[in-house]
Structure 1
């Protein structure tokens, strides 16, 4: 790295993905009902950093009253067998006070926080009313990156006023910018990676003008090999999410989960994946239709995750995995090496903030079982080998997922990563 990291930050970031769940699932019995307990459990597994959607535009840009935010299930059972969308309880909280509580707990447990935003992807869909979603979409597309930068700068000011800014590991303008409504500023067919660069560079420069000492960046789904020139030149941290998919891509394509131009194969899904009591796709909707517009996750994918038999889903992947095993392993290795090479050439640290296979049902065990565990250790080994500053064990290794119970895997992976620091 051309510039040393701030002295108060860890030599290696062992990252746990708390995303938006740290505020959507705070009700009775939920994983973030008690932030101190969540941090205690994270530290016991070897983590020193959590990565969150800090809801910056809602709290500091929207102008909405955030003193009494109510987060609620989608209703009708929608999303209850998915990851991230399975909100169980309704809970009301003061948004800014909850942000302070998180950072205060991080200090008590000697942890740091990666401050990000999922707002132009799905965060607003969890609120009990559409006000947040409406406020986000009202910002002209070409202004959205700048609006996020302004809100994040205000958020850093707010934390600094309370003596908590030193808990920030770094700031991300937004999560996975290729898959956001920031891309609505682009011409049809324009590459999101290449096309968003000028908007992102301008926004990052505006943030740096207010907080020149604060590390700031954006992050990318996958590693955009072939388009690395589209990454902003003024980022301070190179952040990528190497989801390799492989065999999971075949399932997504076979059942047209992300391609609405193709009819959903209801009969085949029933034969191969669904539970006998599954309703037709068209009947599966949340209570409030606006929530569908407030998330980038396709309704077909939610439906399949909600109504599949998890054992049949896993078996479908295992039956075909042998044909993809080598390719998935090579993609993971090559992507991490490409990311590390790009970061080294520009003198910035590398962080792998999410990964490794892809989006699977809540009770699927492909990433929790022997195949997934091996991929986790392989990926963390690559991250250590290339000298990454930070990595996750797996995106599913967090309090809101069943994988949280696999303490041995998480501690082993985090030791593997930190022992070379």
Structure 2
């Protein structure tokens, strides 16, 4: 955009007013639940102060986390929260050895993103949350709070107590239970002196991909009650895939548009080819997937399964865990690069149109907009397609579209965080974060900072 005036000014103006104590732009690194599930000795979040310092060095000013409000405030889970034993998905039955010893995966999910959790330690999660806020304050970071508890967080615990407590809440009561938990947790953070460090409160992450009713069935009302109780905070709920073609279907009352923008495109084509996201396929692994596995990969029976309750506690399927743990990441990437040309224009247009739909909905509702996750989708841990030149170009297109349409905050990429290999691409993160923070900041009509 060459000049911000006229129509450009209208488009680039922030979609809603941002509280004055928060940064004028948010550049977000997605720490999700990994800040407590990957805190093993030597792990990416072993030292929270170091992790915060690394984020600032890369140009970020915000982190987005699962604050586990249910675990931290349900009375029946008090003992569990004070001594949360992190296991991950558990050890494989062959303890890292396969049928011929050439492909080793010592624990389930070792080659997946987010689930590559070796575990083996205990954490006082309430104390660790305050430790995280203390470190964020020292480094000038703000924190977006969410819950992944009805999506996957309890699956990483050794005990099923956390999952059983959440699962026991009747479906119709889950939003009100989350609301009560957030009120309690926000009171704790306020008492600890960290209220102004809170950039956003999300009733739950990706309500459309979680063990929750539709947001219109009680969730929006819970958000509205939280907003009324905490008028100084931005309170909302997030969608993994908002209804971009019919945004009027999003229920009333959200205090921000924290929606996610993924364009699977060529990735979805490969996943369909491999039948890797399904459950219970008779011919799994199919011929296409078998051709893409590393030498010596076991069959699913040899690989075994994590504890059954862990599959109920997460949205990832057993076929995806098996496939990602034994895929040849180079072969995966080669397929994506070979076929990307057929999807390039569609993926670029899809990212652009979805960002604009979110921004225009936020402008209609006069609330700030944030893209809290994006841009391509869920890939194996060692796949580099999204981190490479194609993925970075798609991310840059999404970021610049967001800036041109008044989006307040955004991730560079969902994979740009300490628990992903992309964290090592320091220069790209610095460059893109600098571009975000240097973008002109026309305010909504009649508003000045």
> What's the TM-score once normalised by structure 1's chain length?
0.94
Query: Does residue 200 in structure 1 map to residue 204 in structure 2?
Result: no
After superposition, residues 374-389 of structure 1 pair within 5 angstroms as 374-389=393-408
CA 1:62/1:19 → structure 2, altered by over 3 Å: closer, same or farther?
Answer: farther
1:70 to 85, 108, 116: 85
Q: Which runs of 5+ in 2 are unaligned?
A: 1-13, 93-106, 442-449
1:405 aligned to 2:424? yes
The alignment partner of 2:29 has SS state of strand
Corresponding residue for 2:3? none
Instruction: Choose from 33, 40, 56 the match for 2:69.
Output: 56
Q: What displacement does 1:296 show?
A: 0.9
Change (3 A) 1:412 1:222: farther
Residue 296 of structure 1 pairs with residue 315 of structure 2: yes
Tell me by how many angstroms 1:324 deviates.
0.3
- Partner residue, 1:167: 197
Per-residue CA deviations over 1:149-195 (Å, capped at 9, x if unaligned) read 11111111000011111110010011111111103xxxxxxxx4xxx
Question: What is the alpha-carbon distance in structure 1 between the residues aligned to residue 429 and residue 362 of structure 2?
Answer: 26
Give the number of aligned pairs: 410
Distance in 1 (alpha carbons) for counterparts of 2:270 and 2:302: 22
User: Deviations along 1:360-383, whole A, 9 cap, x unmatched?
Assistant: 000000011111111121111111
User: Is 2:116 the partner of 1:86?
Assistant: yes
Higher RCO, Cα 8 Å, sep 6+: 2
State which of 144, 151, 154 in structure 1 corresponds to 2:181.
151
Q: 2:412 aligns with which of 393, 400, 414?
A: 393
Matches within 5 A, 1:335-350: 335-350=354-369
1:236 corresponds to which residue? Answer: 255
* Correspondence 1:133 to 2:163: yes
Residue aligning to 1:32:
45
Counterpart selection for 1:314 from 333, 338, 360:
333
| TM-score of the two chains, using structure 2 as the length reference | 0.88
Larger radius of gyration: 2
CA distance in 1, matches of 2:157, 2:379: 24
In structure 2, what is the Cα distance between the partners aligned to 1:306 and 1:290? 20
Is the 1:244–1:332 Cα contact (8 Å) retained in structure 2?
A: yes
Cα drift, residue 247 of structure 1: 0.5
How do residues 103-114 of structure 1 correspond to structure 2 at under 5 angstroms? Answer: 103-114=133-144
Alpha-carbon RMSD across the aligned residues, in angstroms, is: 1.5
More displaced stretch, 50-59 vs 273-282? 273-282
